[in-house]
Amino acid sequence: MSLAMTASDGWTVARRNIFRMMRNPEVAIWSSIQPVMFIVLFVYVFGSIPTPADIPYEKYVMAGIFVQTVMFNSMLTGVGLAEDIQKGIIDRFRALPMARSAVLIGRTTSDIVNGLAQLVVMVLVGLAVGWRVESSILEAGAGLALVLLVAYTFSWISAAMGLSVGSVEAANSAGFVWLFPLTFVSNTFVPAASLPAGWQQFAEWNPMSAFVGAVRLLFGNTELRYEPDVWPLQNPFLASFLWIALLLAIFVPLSVRQYKKAASH
């Protein structure tokens, strides 16, 4: 099947999922409450956490909350696919003359729409608590685009997991197992240099730290001279794109293979 036909089939599935979300707005509403809670909690409760060069904490933490939120939102991809398997929808797709990968492309693409809605909410709440972008409009737009690219990448990881487990509950629980270490053992909420030995090295090479560091720089909320002298944090843009390329190279074909197995049962 040609690339154009695969893209067309993928967009058809994406529209189906978007219309489904519009008929069930509670999911988007509740998933948007979580980042609001994180912003308020960390800015007003943990706002006294030391930051490099005494950067105001609301400036330091916002990039981390942006990336963390879309990564947690990526779990919806795996949960949705696990639900489709349980309900037999995957079997219906299998009977149609369409590309196998179109279901995955449509699911990961449609979930970006929910991530975009969350970004709008986070920007508005962040501005309300005192966060400001201190770079150009183009750089700020590039920061938001990078956040969405991270969301898309982790949707493929979630898809592979959702197609590998046996139930919606397992897909939901499995996501937290690997997301929590990535999120909290990083520079998301505290500087990596403040962590104990061992954990600090993990945080410095954690892909989450590179993503957050790149977004912070694009928002103008930090400078490279304030970051630890390790390659990923001194080269966050290159590190971010290398991590994204590596993760997509692993999990896109893995997700397609897992989908073929699920559809053949």
> With bands split at pLDDT 50, 70 and 90, how would you rate the model's confidence at 133?
very high
Contacts of 89 (CB under 8 A, 6+ apart): none
What's the domain range around 95?
3-264
- Decide if pLDDT at 1 tops 80: no
> pLDDT by residue (tens digit) across 186-242?
999 999 989 998 999 999 999 999 999 999 999 999 999 999 899 999 999 999 999
Tokens found for residue 229: 């002298």
> pLDDT by residue (tens digit) across 54-83?
899 999 999 999 999 988 888 888 888 888
- Decide if pLDDT at 112 tops 80: yes
pLDDT score at 3: 66
pLDDT score at 109: 84
pLDDT score at 67: 94
pLDDT score at 135: 94
Give the lowest-confidence range in 69-73, 123-127, 147-151.
69-73
> In this predicted model, which residue has the larger pLDDT, 226 or 169?
226
d(CA 42, CA 55): 15
- Decide if pLDDT at 111 tops 60: yes
- Whole-prediction pTM: 0.88
Tell me the mean pLDDT in the region 230-258.
Answer: 95
∠ CA 183-185-186, nearest 5°, is 75
Contacts of 189 (CB under 8 A, 6+ apart): 42, 46, 49, 61, 64
pLDDT score at 110: 81
Helix 75-87 × helix 100-128 angle, to 10° = 140
> pLDDT by residue (tens digit) across 25-63?
666 677 778 888 889 888 888 878 889 988 999 999 999
> With bands split at pLDDT 50, 70 and 90, how would you rate the model's confidence at 15?
confident
| Structural domains in the chain (count) | 1
- Decide if pLDDT at 2 tops 70: no
d(CA 180, CA 155): 16
pLDDT score at 27: 66
Instruction: Quote the mean pLDDT of the chain.
Output: 85
pLDDT score at 136: 95
d(CA 27, CA 17): 13
Q: What percent of the chain has pLDDT over 70?
A: 88
